[in-house]
Amino acid sequence: MEKIANRQLYFILFMIRCNIAVAFLPVLTTADALQDAWISSMVQFFPAALLLLFFGSLGTRFPDLTVTQYSEMLVGRWTGKALSMVILWIFLHMAAIEARTYANMLITVLLPDTPLVFLIGTMVIASAAAAYAGIEVIGRAADLLFPIYLLMIIGSLLIPLPQLQTMLVNLEPVCARGAGPILRGAITPALFTVQYLVLTILAPSTNEPKRALRTAVWALAGGSAILIPIAIVTVAILGPVRGAQTVFPIFGMVRVITLSEFIDRIEALAVFAWGLGLFVEVAIYLYCGAKGLSQVMGLGNYRPLILPMAVIWTAFGIQVSKNVFQLLEFFKPLFFAPYALIIIIVPFTILWIAYFLRRLSRGRSGAP
């Protein structure tokens, strides 16, 4: 069986987490946190970690099984398959939405006439090739890409530093409007933990499956920690009101920074980092989707599923929203929160209940 190191899992999950912030910085744009967005970035970690522990710790009870396997074991064959499909659906949906957001940015800013299918298609094809090559390859790609990714993110946060000192005033007043805006800003980013459902498929593939959950929590912490400077710099440079108005805040911030008259127009950093992160992300979603589906269907190999799935995902990336307004509306807490919560809470509550019932009945009958 193919294995990845826990380090590689960390890199993958870190990039998945961070990429959402690079894409559209939900703490700032989805609600009214404004200048308190950086506090929201801290706050969102706690509910996110709770959710992660909620669905992750069930996996540690079955270190060698993926969610599709242990759900069949726990709740029976057909119910288990149905629950697995709910979880597999979110991989498709998140991959489609994120590829679409990226393509949208490219079209808005760089390539106004290029067809959507081309931009999404190239990204999905590249990711499909990686997924076809297997999880080990994706892991090694993450090993290679993660330092570059982090360097570019940190670079685009360091270059505006000289400008920051006069613009940090934009972060004031701190917490002036009470806790409401801060909490509202934290909702969507906290619920982006749905992305971490990939852990339920990936955990058995790691070297130390029992430590996979711990790795995931650290990745979540790392991804949230980098969110704080991102939020601070973006709000400082663009101002809270304008930052919240932009469609792609990080990109907007990077576009306007200049370092002493000669370093400017460095948006390639942000676009490139985003693209790298998205590649790993979509590859992982595709791999997890195909792997999960092959187990649900009882196929021995997941590879034949990759190509047809890639085609479907490209098509879904185009169909997932009619226009940019729908896409942005989807991430508003009012819509995204119930959606993501249901996806996480419903299947895993059923699984947990089944798990405890099973233990209870086993305990009564005396079997180990």
Partner 1 sequence: MRLKRLALTLLLIALMTGSCCTGCWNRREPELLGIVLAVGFDYDQERGLYQVFAQLANPIALGGAGGDGGGGGGAGGKKPFWTVDAKGRTPFEAIRNLIEVSSRELFWAHCRVVLFSENLARRGLKDIFDLFERERQFRLIVKPVVIDGDLRQIMEADFPLEETGGRGMDRFIVTTRFERGIFPERNLNELLVVLSQPGQEMLAGRLEVLESEKKSGEKGGEAGIAPPARIGGSALFRGDRMVGWANARQTQGWAFATGRAFRSNFVIESPATGSNVNIEVHSHKAKMSLSGDDKNWKIKMEVKLYGRVTEFDGHEILSDESELTRSLERRAATTARNRIEDILSRAQELKSDIFGFGNLIYRKNPRLWEKIGPRWDEEIFPRLKIDLKVNFVILRAGLIKDPL
For partner 1, the binding residues (CB under 8 A) are: 108-115, 118, 121-122, 125, 129, 132-133, 166-167, 169-170, 172-173, 176-177, 237-242, 255-256, 258, 261, 264-265
Strands (E), 137-255: none
Nearer to partner 1, 238 or 288 (CB): 238
Tokens 């790392």 belong to 222
Q: How far is the CB of 38 from partner 1 (least distance, A)?
A: 16
What is the Cα–Cα distance from 24 to 59, expressed in whole angstroms?
A: 31
Note whether 81 and 72 are within 8 A (CB).
yes
Hey, what are 232's tokens?
């601070």
Q: How far is the CB of 138 from partner 1 (least distance, A)?
A: 14
Nearer to partner 1, 53 or 168 (CB): 168
Nearer to partner 1, 42 or 256 (CB): 256
Q: How far is the CB of 264 from partner 1 (least distance, A)?
A: 6
Q: How far is the CB of 265 from partner 1 (least distance, A)?
A: 7
CA distances, 176 to each of 239, 241, 260 (Å): 16, 15, 34
Please give the angle made by the CA atoms of 54, 197 and 131, to the nearest 5 degrees: 155
The residue type found at 137 is V
Neighbours of 287 (CB within 10 A): 27
Supply the angle between the helices 6-24 and 135-158 in degrees, to the nearest 10: 50
What is the Cα–Cα distance from 188 to 328, expressed in whole angstroms?
A: 12
Q: How far is the CB of 241 from partner 1 (least distance, A)?
A: 4
Nearer to partner 1, 162 or 363 (CB): 162
Nearer to partner 1, 323 or 365 (CB): 323
Q: How far is the CB of 24 from partner 1 (least distance, A)?
A: 16
Nearer to partner 1, 28 or 198 (CB): 28
